[in-house]
Amino acid sequence: MEKILIVEDDASIREELSVLLRANGYQPVSEPPCDLALLDIGLPGESGYEVCRRLRQHSDVPVIFLTARDQPEDELLGFSVGADDYIRKPYHSSVLLARIGRLLKRKNSPVQTVRELTLNLADLTAAYQDQTCELTKNEFKILHYLFQNTGRIIPRIELIEYLWDNQVFIDDNALSVNMTRLRGKLEHLGVQNFVETKRGMGYRL
């Protein structure tokens, strides 16, 4: 049974979510380890953003912010700290369950495909049509992170923090080198302009 972490300070909402999850075959938990996390933002003491940042230091489990905050900057910050989805309260149970199911399916699948390019999580390879190439660990992590955030512009600093976990000796040029090598391998496969550069902003699939 897949475990869903609930971080919510409102006891009634927490119980409501627990009942919903149990009724649909999930096990709600109050602390890691878990298979997916539901986080509120407005928590006493440590904010949901900080909880997400801390979780991302040692885990890549899917994270959904479930919050009453409805400003675009709140949503943008949520994604920037590593969230996979952002749902506003009051939520629709069927929508929440569908988003949970989608993220868990994606997490558990060893193969992900975007625009005919297939990323194999088991052997760190990328394949397009009948061609396959091996990726280095960092090339794979870049592509995997972009796959997980398809359509969203990923700031360079976000990728750097994801790749090197805030190691102070890593400079901006290290990302450029890895991105150039990754693009070269993708072009060798026959995939042109797969990773879009948004000048002054970051990268996007």
Q: pLDDT tens-digit profile of 83-119?
A: 989 999 999 999 999 999 988 887 777 788 888 999 9
Q: What is the distance, to the nearest Å, from the Cα of residue 102 to the centroid of all Cα atoms in its chain? A: 12
Model confidence over 42-83: pLDDT tens digits? 998 899 999 999 888 878 789 999 999 988 899 989 988 989
- The helix (run of H) or strand (run of E) holding residue 132 is strand 131-134
Task: Output the pTM of the full model.
Answer: 0.60
**167 band by pLDDT with thresholds 50, 70 and 90:** low
pLDDT of 169 > 90? The answer is: no
pLDDT of residue 23: 96
pLDDT at residue number 152:
85
